[in-house]
Every structure is written in C-alpha cells, then in structure tokens.
Amino acid sequence: MQRLQKMIQAPWLRPLIFLVILIALWDFAIRIFHIPPYQVPAPIDVVITLWQEWPKLMSEAVPTTVATVYGFLLSAVFGIPIAMLIAGSRTIESYVYPLLVFSQSIPKIAIAPLFVVWFGFGMTPKVLSAFLLGFFPVVVSAVQGFKSVEPDLLDLARAMEASRLQIFRMVSLPYAMPAIFSGLKVSITLAVVGAVVGEFVGSNSGIGYVLQRSIGNFELPTMFAALVILALIGVILFWILDLIERLVIPWHASQRQDVIVAA
C-alpha cells in the first residue's frame, strides 16, 4: 500500500495518471451523449488506428520532424545573433525592434501559401514556415537575457580591463543563457506548429498532410492518431532541448537541485 502511494507520488507518473483520467472522461462522454464516431472517435478506435497505421504514421512523421528541426535551428542561428545586435546597440534596436514586433501581428499562417508560390511543394516552404513561427520567441527572450545582465557586473569586468569580446564571452553570454533556453523551448513547440501549417498549405507528405487528408475523408480516428503523433514529436523535441539545457547551464537556479544531489 505504501509502495503504491510512493509510486503515485513519482513526478513523472502524475501527468500520465491525469492523461488516463482525461481519456476515461473522453470515452465516458462519447457513451453518455451518444456522440457519433464521425464527430469524435472513441479512444479505442484511435488506439487501434495508431497500432495499425504505426509504420505509415512514423514515415510521415519524419518529414515533419525534419522540417521542425531545421526551422528551429534557423530560428536559433538567426535569432540569437540578431538579439545580440539589438541588445548591444541602441541604434540597431531603434531601427529593427519595432518592425520585428510589428511583423508579429501579421498572421504567419496567412503567409505560408506564399512560400508555396515561391518555393513550390517540398521541404523549403515547411522549413520557412517553422522558422517564421519559431524565430520571434528566441529573439525576444535572448534580448531580454542580454539586457538583464547586472550593470555592476559589467563594470566589474570593465575594471578588470576586459575587452568587449571578453565581457561578452565571460559575462553576457553565460548570463543570458537561461533566458535564451526558455526562448528556445517556446520556439521548438511553435516550430512544430509552423511545420504542420507548411504541410497544410502545400505538401504531399508529413503529419500535416495526413491531418488534411483524413479530415477530407472523414477518417477521424486517423486524424486523432496524427494529432497524437504530433504531440509526441513536440514533447520529445522539447525533452531533448531540456536535456541539453541541463548540460549547458547546470549552475542555473532551476537546475541546481540536481547538481547538489550529484555532488
């Protein structure tokens, strides 16, 4: 009994327990309200579809994941240096930042078809769409991270006769790391959305394409199965990023408990 209680308290088990409860409620609601399967499929049908179509879903997950990762990497590769420039220069900030914020009020989903016009069907429009969604959170968080370095800390480094590059390398960059990572985490989940949007508008492969087609054919279990795969992609990528964060900034307050236990 005590062991069971301990198991329920394990942190990784809690979201799973909650998930099981939600699925049970879903099943319950379908039975009680007599929801027809062409509106909401029963959980068991989704599970069966997942089981039967697993190989196909997996092969469709590959292009989506690849597009997400490329889009995310582009967000990081462009976002962090741009944030550095914005945080480092008032002039650049005053020219670039307002426009960047303004550009975010344009619904990016509306732009996605344009990419198809420009780059045709295939990988490029998906990657660009993922990049477009993932880019902004990286910039905003990184700018905030670079700007929140304590002024006294910068003075301390200056008093040591540190060069601008040394200050950046030894103080500003590590100081901004936690903020950069929180931006990257938002970015990767949005990049999944971006990739799927890209697949919606112009693609013949990927989970987004499966979603599009299964809705058209009223294959709701397939559609739900595709959603599950999509969520899995998001969770796994997020988890990998979390792992990298632990390795890169083990000193940060959010990670410390583990460090002390390890030490």
Contact 34, 202 (CB under 8 A): no
Which CB, 180 or 196, lies closer to another protein? 180
Helix extents (H) in 10-122? 13-33, 43-88, 90-103, 108-119
Which CB, 4 or 159, lies closer to another protein? 159
Binding-site ranges for another protein (CB under 8 A)? 150, 152-153, 155-162, 166, 170-171, 174, 249, 251-253, 256, 259-260
Cβ at position 260, least distance to another protein in Å: 8
**Which class for 154: exposed (0-12), middle (13-18), buried (19 or more C-beta within 10 A)?**
middle
Which CB, 31 or 161, lies closer to another protein? 161
Cβ at position 257, least distance to another protein in Å: 11
The dihedral through the CA atoms of 142, 67, 195, 49 has a sign that is negative
Which CB, 150 or 242, lies closer to another protein? 150
d(CA 183, CA 134): 9
Cβ at position 49, least distance to another protein in Å: 48
CA atoms within 13 A on the CB side of 79: 29
